[in-house]
Amino acid sequence: MSIKEFKAQLQTLPTELPLHYYLIADAAQDKQHPSVLLHESLGTRSQCLLTFDQGPDLDAAAPHLMTFPQFDADAESWQWLFGYGPSVPAAFSIIASPLSFDELYVHLHTMTEVVLPDGEEMIFAFWDPAILGTLVGQRDDRTLHVPGPALTTRECGKFLSCVTGWWYWDRDGGMHQIVKDSNAEGEKEVVLPLKLTQTQVDMLVEASVPDHILSYINANRPGILADLPVQERYARVEKHLKEARKLNLRGMRDILDYVCAALIYGDRMIESQEIATLLQKVKSRELSLTQALEQFP
């Protein structure tokens, strides 16, 4: 989406109240701390979303809510954002809201934890586009590993209740606008923190698996990704993850080993009849993946 297309979408938003613009910047996705991502002249205010006081180490690798100037397609700040955002697509999302910074912060902060079926609490990483898109069931986002929606209509209404517009860049750098469901009646009845069902938990856990695999490979076997452009790595890992699922692989060690093997062998994983026969035996449980890999040509 170009900045002109973004401007056109802004013109369709309700205008009963003046809108303020904010970014959610995930410091874990960018080595620079959010407070220095933007020009100092913007007077940007930012605050870590996870708690009011996390300390410098966690604060430097956590999501932050940040103020942003009023929209102006010709402004340096917005030109910079639309140039930089797609290149680090998991790092930013844009929010338009009538709320003040403090009011929006309180709402988003209350959403950062959810209750699991066993009563335990879990961080609710809605700032990650792969999770955000799954939560709301973003239909035009073809990069989602789990399409969703993971939230019910009422839960989604509660989540988006303080937001007039929300945009994020997907893993391929494409931009998406989250549209609130006008039929989300009963959202006021939703109690926070959200209490997730096991199905919702399973969806959100699976949605994050490609990132976990990619992170592991980057940290432990970066060489097998060296010839693959950075912007293509997530999609390739997700493709091989789906292949692993079709082989009935469930353990993370087997899934990691399969994805790594697929990255190393490339087209030979498809073209070699010998490999295809071995993988079929894995699927039928005649061989373990480890045994099959030991026999790869």
Give the tens place of pLDDT for each residue, 240-252: 999 999 999 999 9
Same domain assignment for residues 276 and 169: no
Do 258 and 187 share a domain, yes or no? no
The pTM (predicted TM-score) of the whole model is 0.88
Q: Which of 128, 163, 196 is the last residue of a domain?
A: 196
249 in a structural domain: yes
Question: Same domain for 189 and 248?
Answer: no
The residue among 126, 142, 132, 137 whose CA lies nearest residue 184 is 137
pLDDT of 27 reads 76
pLDDT at site 26: 86
Q: How many domains does the chain have?
A: 2
Question: Do residue 153 and residue 272 come from a single domain?
Answer: no
Residues 234, 211: contact at Cβ < 8 Å?
A: yes
Q: In Å, how far are 38, 56, 122, 149, 208 from 195, measured between CA atoms?
A: 36, 30, 10, 16, 19
Q: Is 23 helix (H, G, I), strand (E, B) or coil?
A: strand
Contacts of 121 (CB under 8 A, 6+ apart): 113, 114, 115, 193
In a domain, 202, yes or no: no
Is 176 within the bounds of a domain? Answer: yes
Q: Are residues 214 and 281 in the same domain?
A: yes
C-alpha 126/C-alpha 137 separation (Å) is 13
> Among the three residues 166, 196, 226, which one is the final residue of a domain in this structure?
196
Same domain as 267, residue 153: no
What pLDDT is stored for residue 5 in this prediction? 95
The pair of structure tokens assigned to 215 is: 């992170």
User: Does some domain include residue 201?
Assistant: no
Domain assignment present for residue 204? The answer is no
Instruction: Give the per-residue pLDDT at 4.
Output: 95
Cβ contacts of residue 123 below 8 Å, gap of 6+?
A: 50, 112, 113
The series of mean pLDDT values per 10 residues for the chain, 297 residues long, is: 94 89 84 53 76 58 88 92 86 94 96 95 91 95 94 94 94 90 72 95 94 94 92 93 95 96 94 96 97 96
Examine the domain organization and report whether 16 and 141 are in the same domain.
yes
E strands in 61-198: 63-68, 92-97, 113-115, 121-123, 165-169, 175-178
pLDDT digits (tens, 9 = 90+) for 150-180: 999 999 999 999 999 999 999 888 999 998 7
H helices then E strands: how many in the chain? Answer: 13, 8
* pLDDT confidence of residue 14: 84
Residue 180 has a pLDDT of 77
For residue 150, the enclosing domain spans 3-196
113 and 62 in one domain?
yes
